[in-house]
Structure formats: C-alpha cells, structure tokens
Structure 1
Amino acid sequence: MGTSWSLLAVSPPARTAEGVQAALDLVVAQMSQWEPESDLSRFNRAAPGQWRDIPGELACVVAASLDIARASGGAFDAGLGSVTEAWGFGSTVSVEAPSPGQAPGASHSCDDRTIDCDRARRRIRRSEGAALDLSGIAKGYGVDLAAEWLLANDVRHFLLEVGGELRGEGIRPDGQPWWVDVEMPPTSSVPAWRVALHDLSIATSGNYRRGFSADGTFYSHSFDPRTGRPIVNGVSSVTVLHRSCMMADGWATALTVLGAEAAISIADDRKLAACVVAGDREYLSRAWRAMLG
C-alpha cells in the first residue's frame, strides 16, 4: 500500500510482525492500482462487460464500496479509476490541470462508470467508462484484515496503525484504553480530539495530504464522482469512528466529497460518528457528540 505500519500489542506471539505484513501484502496483491499484476489491475485491463472471478477479500471490499456509494448518493465511486489516473493521481505521470470542459472523465457520466458485483459468486464486471479504484477504502480493509489475524492468534489487546488509520482492541497493560489524537489539518486552529480506541477504528480523509497546484489553484486528490473533478467544497478533513476500519475509511472518503453540512446530515441518518473540519469550523455528528461529548 506504499505506506508504513506500527503495532503496540500485549504478549504477541512469535512471528507476529510476519503475520501482519502478510495480511497487508495480500491487500496489495489484490487491490493495488500501482501493481500491474494485482487482481485489480488485471481486472481493469480486461475487456469491459465481462464477469471476472475475484478473491473473496477483493469481493468484500468491492461490495462495501458499492454499499457506501448507494448510501451516500454517489459521493463514493469505486469505478472512478480512469478519471483519477487521467489527472495524474495513482500514476507516475504529472498531468496538467484541464479546463472544466476538458476534464478527464467528463465524457463519461456516472451511469457510464458502473461496477457490478455478484457477491454470491465472487465476480465483478465493469462498464467501458469504469476502472476499479479502491484507494479510498482498501487501506482500512488492510487494517481490519491484519487485526483479524491478530485476534485469530490470541492477541486480544493491541493498537494497530497503517498509514495513519488505526484500530484498537482491548486495553493497555496499565488498564487504560488505547488513546489516540485525531489528526487535524496543519492550518486549522480547531483543537484535536483525543479518542479512546476500545474495540474501535478511526480513519481520517485529509484533503490537504496530496495534490498539486496549477495557475494558483490547488487540486486535491479527493474527487467528486458526480463532476469528475477534484472537490472544491471547503472541507479540510473528515474523521470517522467505526467498529470496522474499512467502513471508517470508506465513509471518511464519501463524507469529504459531500461537504460539511451534507456530510453531517448523512452521518446523522446513518448513525455515523463523524467530525468534519472546514476552515476553522468543526462540524460534529450526533453519534460523535454522544461518544465523545
């Protein structure tokens, strides 16, 4: 996944590091858009319109992506890969920012970027305008997969971090929960929350983390699937707390696209614990307030 990981664990068995790394390597082998022989890359190279069998782990993430896409009104789109690649995100090629009428992917509407998933048979297919991109959710799944390996090997108390996304299980040796500080945008004056991760995951989507500037405009790596362009809605970051790090990751991505007020509205409807930072303002969902207020 092109990132580092760390683990704090109580009485881990031998070869714990190897077990965690193997789980993360599996996610890369199946879901990386940078690995030409990953299952995802081979699917994107295959002819559109044809069903292709995929591993169960990949099927799980695709299915979750489609669920979030429907629940968010299209703010999450796992078929956006051709658009993000055309803008230079996920590739090694720098791309000049296009004009609105020449935006990569603008020729394909959301309806043209369809990913279908047959969950029972573990197979997927894509329309001609779609290319699978799971960068907004796969890292969270990697955290969950590694955490499940730890639990299956009798590691009951740990804090696992992969590229800034975390999952905490059990408690520390001193009886305290695993306390972590919520990542805040570097330019924001909003104070950071401190969260106890007790059988809980946290993921933050930061609009400031990656992008490029052209003609005085900063273009974020966060894309609005409905326009095919980087978002411009004032949101700096979104943090979501969830039992599943995959769901926290995917929902943080979707809520970032929606904008602050719409994000909180959907978070309240879905009972998601979400914190949205836009400029120097903080927007909190009811579930977040109930959990941390």
Structure 2
Amino acid sequence: MRRTFSAVMLFFLVFCSAQAQQKTFFITGRAQGTTYQIQYLADREVVRKSSIDSVMGVIDQSMSLYQPHSLISMFNRQYHHELEIDTHMANVLREAFQVYEKSNGLFDVTVKPLVDLWGFGSEGVQLFPPQATVDSVLSFVGMEKIWLEGNQLHKRDPRTAIDLNGIAQGYTVDVLSQWLDERIIDSYLVEVGGEIRTKGLKAEGKSYEIAIERPEGAQSSSFVLQLTDLAVTTSGNYRKVAYHEGKKVHHHIDPKSGFPLQNIVVSATIIAPTAMEADAYDNVFMALSPQAGIALANRLAGIEVYIIYEGHGAFHEAYSDGFLSFVKP
C-alpha cells in the first residue's frame, strides 16, 4: 500500500514538473460572425492561426446561413427536396434530432421561416405578422418534415428551411477541441462566441475558471465555474429584444405556437460533456419554466443548469442538483 502511494506521488510530481515547463499559447481571431480564442499548454507552438481559420472556414461552408453557397443555404432553397450533406452537418443534425426528442419538440431547427417572419433573421422586418400568417408558416415547420438517410437530407415541403445557429457554434468548439486532441495537446480552453470547452489543467495545476455571463441588474450570486474536460454555454434573452403589442418579444421562437417566447427565464447556463450538447440545451432551458428546466436537467445524464429568472420585480436563481459542485468556493 505504501509503495503504491509513493508511486502515485512520484507520478504526480513528474506530471506537475512537466506542466510547469510548458508555456501557455494564445490564438484569437474573428470567424462565424463572432470572435474566438484558444489557449493551450505545450512545450512549443504547435497550432497556427491559419489552421484554425481553415477549420472554421470548412464548417462555414457547411452550415453558415450567411454563405450563399453553403450546404445549408442550398438545402433551404425552395427547389431542393433533398441534398447530399457533409459529415459536419450530418453530425449536427443527428444531435439536433436527439435533443428534439428529449425536449418534447422545444428544440426544432426548422424554425428558420418563423425567425425570419418575426424579423430576427438576417433581414429584419418593421411590422409583426398577424395570426393567419403565423399559422400559414407553421404548416411547413417541424422536424418531422425533414429526415436523414445516411448523409442525404430530405424535406417533405420545399418551403421548409433549417437554422443550425442554435447548435452549430457549439459543434465548432468541439471540432476545434478534437483538432487539438489530435495534436496531443492535453490542456486547453476553446471559446467561440461564448461557447466554451476545456481539457486538463492550467500551467499552475488548477482548473480553468469561467465567470458566468449575467444580465445587467441581476442580484444573484456571482458564480465562477471551475471546469475540467467539460463544456459550458450561456443563452440569454436580454440582448435581441423587440416589442409586440406592448410586450417584449425575444429571438427564441416557440416552434409550436409560432410566436416568440414570453418566459420569465432571463438566462440559462449549461454545463455538459460537449459544447454541442450545451449549445443545444441552452435553447431548451430558455423555453421552459425554471421548475420544468431544473426537473429536466436532473433527468438528463451529464447536464447541469443554472437559471436566472424574473419574478415580482426582482431576479432569482435556480440550479440543478449537481451544479454547485462546479462553482469555485
């Protein structure tokens, strides 16, 4: 027993010594309409910014709505009923179908026509739509109207269009993380547009620390997360805001009613094994009541959530059973 303990201590000291000799490298840039940053530990520089930009460019050509010749833009054109897609888009769609099922349809990538209708897409509108128009668009919204056969994506109605922005950025973080793994980098933090994934420990042997983005005026606790080999994302409804009939409307659209959600949840922070999972589920928790959101998180393996919500003129907080274990003391 004593010999085993000595061996473990020797390994720990050698490991820490090796980490102490490594340097921290930083890469920053702009892509996918936002910023990104990568920091990693290594003996020497092994990652070039041009390589990172190239990886992200490939994903843009797959799932960017702002690239007219991307695969998703081609599929969304009304003369397409089916399209051969790449592995990136297929991976994202398979995860999207799973989250759609687990969320009882709250996460639905076919909401793009509704997002455009309400003016939250790339082209804004000045007038909000009447009920009849919303109902008309709802007739070709729903993930039961699309399906995958291998890498062949099909749709039943040519007017159906998809928007993967609620999950693709998290997937980008995962792809970059895997790219670093393949270069035998054992410690890193990858962040794209606020979506984050970590691996290993920092140079001083501590976990990566992430402060939770919180809406202005929130009076809840100031949490700093300590994460190792996990991802975290935050979604909030306090940025993209418009007004409809005297009420605030937000960019999260209810795929069942066709109207923007009017929920008391202000923000949701998700901890998950992958950034793609966290990115997808933050949309789900924004759509649920705080009580329903916490109940769902407690049922989902590997998912933790921290929710800020409004009530009686003040901000309140709620969190899943395992969330506090990741909060810095």
With the length of structure 2 as denominator, give the TM-score of the two structures: 0.82
In structure 2, do the counterparts of structure 1 residues 155 and 112 end up closer, same or farther at CA, with 3 Å as the change threshold?
closer
Residue equivalent to 1:288:
323
Q: 1:142 aligns with which of 147, 165, 172?
A: 172
In structure 2, do the counterparts of structure 1 residues 110 and 267 end up closer, same or farther at CA, with 3 Å as the change threshold?
farther
What amino acid does structure 1 have at the position aligned with 2:171? Y
C-alpha deviation, 1:155, in angstroms: 2.0
Deviation digits for residues 29-78 of structure 1 (CA, Å, limit 9, x no counterpart) = 11111211110010111535x33210011000011011101100011001
What amino acid does structure 2 have at the position aligned with 1:108? S
Mean alpha-carbon deviation: is it higher for 107-116 or for 203-212?
A: 107-116
In structure 2, do the counterparts of structure 1 residues 96 and 282 end up closer, same or farther at CA, with 3 Å as the change threshold?
same
Contact 1:204/1:237 (<8 A) preserved = yes
What amino acid does structure 2 have at the position aligned with 1:31? M
Task: Give the distance between the partners of 1:39 and 1:144, measured in 2 at CA.
Answer: 20
Task: Give the distance between the partners of 1:110 and 1:186, measured in 2 at CA.
Answer: 34
C-alpha deviation, 1:127, in angstroms: 2.8
Query: 1:96 aligns to what SS in structure 2?
Result: coil
Residue equivalent to 1:88:
119
Residue equivalent to 1:155:
185
C-alpha deviation, 1:13, in angstroms: 2.9
Q: 2:282 aligns with which of 238, 252, 256?
A: 252
Query: 1:161 aligns to what SS in structure 2?
Result: strand
Query: 1:79 aligns to what SS in structure 2?
Result: helix
Give runs of aligned pairs for residues 175-190 of structure 1, distance below 5 A: 175-190=205-220
Unaligned runs of 5+ in 2: 1-31
Contact 1:19/1:149 (<8 A) preserved = no
State yes or no: 1:122 paired with 2:151: yes
What amino acid does structure 2 have at the position aligned with 1:6? Q
Query: 1:174 aligns to what SS in structure 2?
Result: coil
Task: Give the distance between the partners of 1:173 and 1:162, measured in 2 at CA.
Answer: 22
Task: Give the distance between the partners of 1:151 and 1:76, measured in 2 at CA.
Answer: 30
Q: 2:238 aligns with which of 195, 208, 231?
A: 208
What amino acid does structure 2 have at the position aligned with 1:122? N
Contact 1:87/1:104 (<8 A) preserved = no
Contact 1:31/1:58 (<8 A) preserved = yes
Q: 2:266 aligns with which of 236, 242, 257?
A: 236
Higher relative contact order (CA 8 A, sep 6+): 1
Task: Give the distance between the partners of 2:143 and 2:294, measured in 1 at CA.
Answer: 29
State yes or no: 1:9 paired with 2:44: no
Q: 1:79 aligns with which of 93, 110, 114?
A: 110
What amino acid does structure 2 have at the position aligned with 1:83? L
Identity %: 26
C-alpha deviation, 1:242, in angstroms: 0.8
Contact 2:39/2:189 (<8 A) preserved = yes
Contact 2:211/2:225 (<8 A) preserved = yes
What amino acid does structure 1 have at the position aligned with 2:155? R
Query: 1:84 aligns to what SS in structure 2?
Result: helix
Query: 1:5 aligns to what SS in structure 2?
Result: strand
Larger Rg, first or second structure (1 or 2):
2
State yes or no: 1:19 paired with 2:19: no
C-alpha deviation, 1:112, in angstroms: 7.9
Task: Give the distance between the partners of 1:116 and 1:282, measured in 2 at CA.
Answer: 38
Residue equivalent to 2:79:
47
Task: Give the distance between the partners of 2:48 and 2:183, measured in 1 at CA.
Answer: 9
Query: 1:117 aligns to what SS in structure 2?
Result: strand
Residue equivalent to 1:218:
248
Query: 2:271 aligns to what SS in structure 1?
Result: strand
Contact 2:305/2:323 (<8 A) preserved = yes
C-alpha deviation, 1:215, in angstroms: 5.1
Mean alpha-carbon deviation: is it higher for 16-25 or for 138-147?
A: 16-25
Mean alpha-carbon deviation: is it higher for 1-10 or for 91-100?
A: 91-100
C-alpha deviation, 1:291, in angstroms: 4.4
Give runs of aligned pairs for residues 53-64 of structure 1, distance below 5 A: 53-64=84-95
Contact 1:143/1:161 (<8 A) preserved = yes
Task: Give the distance between the partners of 1:105 and 1:256, measured in 2 at CA.
Answer: 25
